[in-house]
Structure 1
Amino acid sequence: MGIFTIESRHLRFAIKLASAIVLALFVGFHFQLETPRWAVLTAAIVAAGPAFAAGGEPWSGAIRYRGMLRIAGTFIGCIAALIIITSMIRAPLLMVLVCCIWAGFCTWVSSLVRVENSYAWGLSGYTALIIVITIQTEPLLTPQFAVERCSEIVLGIVCAIMADLLFSPRSIKREVDRELDSLLVAQYQLMQLCIKHGDSEEVDSAWGALVRRTTALEGMRSNLNMESSRWARANRRLKALNTLSLTLITQSCETYLIQNTRPELITGTYRELFAAPVETVQDVHTQLKRLRRAIAWTGERETPVTIYTWVGAATRYLLLKRGVVSNAKIGAAEEEILRGEPVVKVESAERHHAMVNFWRTTLSCVLGTLFWLWTGWTSGSGAMVMIAVVTSLAMRLPNPRMVAIDFIYGTLAALPLGAFLFLVVIPGTQQSMLLLCLSMAVLGFFIGIEVQKRRLGSMGALASTINIIVLDNPMTFHFSQFLDSALGQIVGCVLAFMVIMVVRDNSRDRTGRVLLNQFVSAAVSAMTTNAARRGENHLPALYQQLFLLMNKFPGDLPKFRLALTMIIAHQRLRDAPIPVNDDLSAFHRQLRRTADRVISAGSDDKRRRDFARLLDELDIYQQKLRVWEAPAQVTEPVKRLAEMLHKYQHALTIS
């Protein structure tokens, strides 16, 4: 029964993919496009890509969003190709080499922008390369070729979107509502664990899972926003809920940490209140009422600040959650929450990784160019295109090597599959459009099922098979041309794989060090008396960095604890009543400049010197706080921060 359910779930998308391919094929031939193959290929990739990433049928809006990114990337690539060709048409070799650098530049940019937008930049790099390579014999036809390419790709995207809408795309709204309930229950259970001050490994596992779930919820918000404009109010609420969820995690973990030195801060009253088990959102709602009554009875001053902040954030979470579920008009109380602090965007910590990606793409494309010129092989241009495609699309993913292997397997599978279609099926159906559409529908249907299972080579086989079979207008059947094209794809993928293996990505440790120093800088920047700076919301950016750190170093608990401690220090210092005077304000600016130099240092020696200077300045700052009679709410977190930096000085300064 379970197998039948899984297969049934896969069937709808397989039919959707087959429909997109058939629709693009029919419309392309109907309007007498010169190369309907590009429309069919685009429809297949736009529809299948999100399904491969999701491991099943993509949510509503995902295919449409990917299509828009592909249109944007295609237009950027076409414009770049036109500029390169018109500027260097008299030097063909230089023109191709500049295009290789452009492909590397686009890969570099795609490594720094948001993951969901990186596809457009990667696509623009190899689009320009395809145009430059294709028009080598007739450069005067460049504008016509660029226009045709854009029109064919737009047609394929429209067909993919139409097929998606035709077969009732899945809405993610119900999943969002369910996750909001489950997440709040998990947040309460984490706070229970932290107040009990139980096993540290259990707490680490619980907060790590909550960080991942909160990040996943933010991804679900993006999907809901892509789905329809009618979820605009829910989207606003979910943005605020992301911050509230991160606030709850931070306050829970701080509650755990403060008990290491001052367990008496958590009184028996709150231990008893949090001891009651919760299973549903209604249970949490009931417990929050009791906690609010307890806070009103004991008073805000007598309530531990972490519990007081946690209860306030959980109450606001409940209010916004109801609004997301109902999607009702935003009330005055909600509007006040939504108008909260401006969210700060952090600078990417993967600049070295992006530079490695630049060199991988550029060198592989240049290697393809030299191979093409040295051999004089007619399909050397096809090998170059595959090199650009593989390196541009693989670099942003966590495991580029496996992506390259996927393409190799796909191109190898496309050789016999494409040969069967090219030699047997298509020649027998070229007199009947219906039979041709049916044969392509069968291809799309079966590969569509495999794509959802993330079968190794399935995406590469789909794209490579469509690319090598003859879907031009008029159709011609030259087996030598087919074989050259198929072998060119395989050679291109193998060359790309070789470059990825030779040009090692040694940026992991450096990225980890930069991330940790960014946490330090954020904690230092919280020491300010500037009202606008204190009003900035750094939590989403800090936890985004923490999530990246968790992905780069899975299982490295000391790094996660250090990062989390820095986040807690940032939040505590941000709310601390620092005395307002010119002396401290000037020293705050000095501390921020020193912290920035630690991040931007080009060598370990310079980083160690700047870090030692930062530690000395923190000692001076603590003396100044004593001179200006700062309260314990300021001096204690500053002291804890300085002690933490002294303790982990080696980890924060060595690449």
Structure 2
Amino acid sequence: MTYPTSRDWIFSVKTFAASMLALYIGLKLELPRPYWAMATVYIVSNPFVGATRSKALYRALGTMIGASAAVLFVPPFVESPYLFSAVVALWTGTLLLLAISDRTARSYVFMLAAYTMPLIALPSVMNPAGIFDLAVSRTEEIVLGIVCASVVGGAILPSRLAPTLIERTDAWFRDAAFYAKETLSGRMGGKTISACRQRLAITVNALEFLLSQLAYDHTRPDVLARAQALRGRMQFLMPIMSAISDPLAALFNGRNPPPPGLEPLLADIVTWFGEPLSARADAPSSINANNDPKADALRSRIADLQPDADALRTWEGALLSNTLWRLKQLVDVWQDCRALRVIITNEEGSWRPRYRHWRMGGTQQYFDRGMLLFSAGSAVLAIFIASSLWIASGWNDGAGAVTLAAVACCFFAALDEPAPQVFAFFTYTCLAVVLAGLYLFVILPTVHDFPMLVIMFAVPFILIGTLIPRPQFNLATMLTAVNTATFISIQGTYDANFLTFMNSNLAGPAGLLFAFVWTRVTRPFGAELAAARLIRSGWRDVALSASTRPVDDQKNLTARMIDRLMQIIPRIAASDDQRHPSIESFRDLRIAFNSLDLRRLRRRLHDADLASVDRVLEGVRAYFQQCVERGARQPVPTSLETAIDVALDRITRRGGAVHAEAAAAQAQPDQAAAVPGRQIRDALHALVGMRLSLFPDTLASALPPQPEPAA
């Protein structure tokens, strides 16, 4: 076991000090429940100032919204218990849906508004006339805890969030270097590289939330913009790298010798990827971060290996051209990532993007609306049924069961399989009940002043606090600290009754046990269903990309497809399968990109070439539409393979004719070549990439028909 670091100890002591300050002020102000201020400190506190501030601000706003809703809904509905239960459940479910539809720190506003309303409204049904006072006092207690956590966290040895961004990106760089080494060596399957893909995607996904908190960390807007640009290129790196694996497998299939110079080029790219970032981290800021002689040399070597017009009319030449095109993109993206990493570390420096593409710049995210609605609807039904059971039982303290059931359903609604986490919530709540009982009936009777109370709380709460910063212990330790502080129910005077304590504090575990059973029954599907739905949605976008239907914003379509891919990869277990679903999902993405490229090139093609390309696009659309309708990946029809080979043949023939047309255009300046060479090359790359992605298993054993020499 790794022992707590000095940073963990500092965080724990600061959090404990803030909680005791909040408790002391709450007692002095004679707030009804000063322990809520103490508990709030542990909910809000984060090792980093920016995260604490953002969480505190959004929690305060969410609490006020939830408290206002309680004041609004309790008086008119309290006399109709079942209708009131439905109102509470619908409010919670609606705000929960907004919360899980936002992957930034802003989601705290909706999450807190979702479960604060039942926390305040349900206990007030026995005294509806006091709902306003209860809402105000609860808001005061929570805001007090928020203020204490923010002030202490920012004033005493503040820890900035930016270094954590550097640490996480450095881990991503190490994984990316390994992924490049394996991919450029011809290995794209296996558990090791599959697990590496998962780590890369998880890091990219985690950075999205981290960057939303960075603005509260005194980070300059230009540095924040660079961090956003870095994450965008991190998203593109894996699809580009995976696109190289299939043409490399075809080039190094053992049937023909590899192109001269390609192997040394790949080895040097791998070496460049493995260079430590620290080699340039201390570079003076006056030096342009884009200055990378090794990257320039690699691009020059890639240009030197480009096949000429005659070689492009062969399958091997088309493969080599496609591979070199992807390698240049890879070099450009990696240089951008390294340059941005230097700027973010030094917080100064200039940068000019090397990787420029019309697909860059989209901001749209992908959300599985059906699963989000199902998750929120499940929470609504859970709260309504729990409330109905409480009403039918007549249990005076049953409001605690319903509120904790609501909290559990909200906390874990975004998970694919929430039941294990809800059960952990139940387990640590039971532990908190035991710990609170020990304090309340054994320790607190010996305490006669506040300093002694602080001493009695110090050891367990500080020890627990050292584990809160660790992701594997965060849930358990945070719940233990918060629930213990809440269940002790510290007041200005000691007044403990064992039967009252047991009756009120057993309600919480009972509600959590109900939530566990409910989630186990209603949401047993796990990550497999979520991944299957994401993959099927990806097929819809591939079909859209290949169809004649207009795409409103291709940049946002691209961003949505990549975002969805980053959600698929962590949900799929590592495997040795060469046709692993994550590999197939990368191929689906490439087919969509190639289809969009062909759609953009259509207006520049001759009529005969256009017809062959349209047959390819229609075949792709029909195939993926069939996959969507049948809900499973289908065998690719051989007719599509034939259509791609015919289109390749026509495009390569046209490529051979371009030079003659260009010569004629020089002889007659008033006539231009109908199809520029660049467009021919782009169309060739798109068709080659599509064939490689749709028929990867055929490449090692059989080559596509060679086009006949152009007439």
TM-score range, shorter chain: 0.7 to 0.9
Match of 2:520? Answer: 501
Q: 1:148 to 1:338 in 2, by over 3 A?
A: farther
Does 2:462 correspond to 1:445?
A: yes
Q: Per-residue deviation at 1:399?
A: 4.5
What is the rounded CA distance, in whole Å, between the counterparts of 2:627 and 2:65 in structure 1? 32
Corresponding letter in the other structure for 1:228: H
367, 389, 397: which one aligns with 2:407: 389
Structure 1 residues 339 and 527, CA gap change in structure 2 (3 angstroms): closer
Per-residue CA deviation, residues 382-437 of structure 1 (Å, 9 max, x unaligned), is 111121112221222354222222222223223332223222433443x5232233
- Alpha-carbon shift at residue 19 of structure 1 (Å): 1.0
Residue 627 of structure 1 and its aligned partner are, at CA, apart by 9.4
CA drift at 1:532: 9.1
CA distance in 2, matches of 1:265, 1:569: 28
- On the 8 A contact 2:64/2:113 being kept in 1, the answer is yes
In structure 2, the residue matched to 1:565 is 587
Unpaired runs of 5+ residues, structure 1, are 51-57, 649-655
* TM-superposed deviation, 1:206: 4.8
Q: Take 1:66 and 1:188, find their aligned partners in 2: how far apart are those partners? A: 34
1:366-387, CA deviations, whole angstroms, 9 ceiling, x for partnerless residues?
Answer: 3322332233222111111121
Contact kept? 2:12, 2:463, Cα under 8 Å: yes
**How do 1:60-99 and structure 2 match up within 5 A?**
60-99=49-88
Percent identity among equivalent residues? Answer: 19
Q: Alpha-carbon deviations, 1:13-60, whole Å to 9, x = none?
A: 22122112101101112223222122122112222xx5xxxxxxx333
Letter of the 2:226 counterpart: R
C-alpha distance in structure 1 between counterparts of 2:307 and 2:48, whole Å: 45
Question: Aligned to 1:513, which of 525, 532, 541?
Answer: 532
Question: Aligned AA for 2:300?
Answer: R
Change (3 A) 1:266 1:160: farther
Give me the TM-score of the superposition, normalised by structure 2. 0.75
Query: Aligned ranges for residues 266-415 of structure 1 at < 5 Å?
Result: 267-276=259-268, 277=271, 278-281=274-277, 282=279, 285=292, 287-295=294-302, 297=304, 304-328=324-348, 330=350, 333=352, 341-349=360-368, 351-415=369-433
C-alpha separation in 1, matches of 2:68 and 2:115: 12
> Structure 2: where are the runs of 5+ without partners?
281-290, 309-319, 655-678, 698-711
Contact 1:401 1:500 (C-alpha < 8 Å) held by counterparts: yes
Greater alpha carbon shift after TM alignment, 300-309 vs 21-30: 300-309
The alignment status of 1:459 with 2:478, answered yes or no, reads: yes
2-structure distance, mates of 1:290, 1:126: 58
* Larger of the two Rg values belongs to structure: 2
1:11 maps to 2:9: yes
Q: Give the match for residue 659 of structure 2.
A: none
The one-letter amino acid of 2:451's match is: L
Question: What amino acid sits opposite 1:280 in the alignment?
Answer: P
Distance in 2, matches of 1:297 and 1:627, equals 26
Q: Distance in 2 between matches of 1:374 and 1:199?
A: 59
Summarize the Cα distance change of 1:210–1:61 in structure 2 as closer, same or farther, 3 Å threshold.
same
- Residues 436 and 487, structure 2, Cα contact 8 Å, conserved in 1: yes
Equivalents in 1 of 2:23, 2:242: separation in Å?
56
Partners of 2:28 and 2:419 in 1: CA distance: 40
What is the DSSP-based 3-state SS (H/G/I as helix, E as strand, rest coil) of the residue aligned with 1:536? helix
> How much is the aligned-residue C-alpha RMSD, in angstroms?
4.4
- Residue 146, structure 1, aligned to residue 135, structure 2: yes
Aligned residues: 628
Alpha-carbon distance between aligned partners in 2 of 1:266 and 1:324, rounded to the nearest angstrom: 40
2: CA distance between counterparts of 1:335 and 1:260? 27
| Paired residue type of 2:683 | V
Q: Is the 8 A contact 1:407 1:461 kept in 2?
A: no
Taking structure 1 as reference, are residues 635 and 612 closer, same or farther at Cα in structure 2, changes over 3 Å only?
A: farther
Question: 3-state SS of the aligned residue for 1:345?
Answer: coil
Q: Show CA shifts across 1:576-625 (max 9, x none).
A: 5612289989x89x979979996998xx56x69x9999999999999999
Q: 1:103 to 1:642 in 2, by over 3 A?
A: farther
2:49 is paired with a residue of what secondary structure? coil
Residue 218 of structure 2 corresponds to residue 228 of structure 1: yes
Post-superposition shift, 1:626? Answer: 9.3
Code of the aligned partner of 1:578: L
Aligned mates of 2:140, 2:619 — CA distance in 1: 51
Trace 1:150-169 onto structure 2 (pairs within 5 A).
150-169=139-158
Deviation at 1:161, TM superposition (A): 1.5
Q: Secondary structure at the match of 1:322?
A: helix
How many Å separate the matches in 2 of 1:23 and 1:362?
Answer: 37
Which residue of 2 is the match for residue 122 of structure 1? 111
Name the amino acid aligned to 2:8. Answer: H
Using the TM superposition, give the Cα deviation of residue 86 of structure 1 relative to its aligned residue in structure 2, in angstroms: 4.8
